[in-house]
Amino acid sequence: MKIGLLSDTHSFLDDAVFRHFENCDEKWHAGDFGNIELADKLAAFKPLRGVYGNIDGQEIRQTYPEDLRFDCEGMDVWMTHIGGYPDKYHPRVKRIIYTKPPQLFITGHSHILKVIFDKKINCLHLNPGAAGKQGWQTVRTLMRFDITEEKIQNLQVIELNK
């Protein structure tokens, strides 16, 4: 399964996203879409899984959950917008992540691209950074990767500013 991962678009969708994700089977959005039109445009392009973020309004919140936990190619995946990261998990997810850890934990919110393996719970944490223009980040980023037989492979970071 080829995955395109983005977050924090904040109502701005760079046309380059479609080019970078054209060979992906699914797109995953880790929250702060900004508006339902952006989400609909992504969903019309390729299958979309997403969660709402703190800036998302009622239309997004009625369509996408706060937490999405699912199986992808045998891998237990948990996606939420505000989740923290290893050793600094958000209080809302901390108990769950330590008692029933996923294999892949995806968050957004910070606008900081992160790839961290949490050895304590044997879980890979991904934050794709921010794909939108809102925020303090100087480089807009996406991720692309494959999930095969419960393994992440071919992880790529894509910079949109170039």
Residue type, 148: T
Question: From the centroid of its chain, how far is CA 98?
Answer: 20
Determine the Cα–Cα distance for residues 78 and 105; give it in Å rounded to an integer. 5
118: closest CA among 108, 133, 106, 130? Answer: 106
Q: Are 106 and 126 in contact (CB under 8 A)?
A: yes
Tokens of 38: 């952006």
Measured CA to CA, the distance from residue 77 to residue 136 in angstroms comes to 28
DSSP assignment of 4-46: EEE---TT---THHHHHTTT-SEEEE-S---SHHHHHHHHHHS
Bridge partner list, 109: none
Q: What is the pLDDT along the chain (162 residues), one digit of tens a residue?
A: 999 999 999 999 999 999 999 999 999 999 999 999 999 999 999 999 999 999 999 999 999 999 999 999 999 999 999 999 999 999 999 999 999 999 999 999 999 999 999 999 999 999 999 999 988 888 999 999 999 988 999 999 999 975
Q: Whose CA is closest to 4, among 161, 162, 160, 146?
A: 146
| CB-CB neighbours of 23 under 10 Å | 10
| Residues in a beta bridge with 68 | 79
Q: In angstroms, how far apart are the furthest CA atoms of the chain?
A: 41
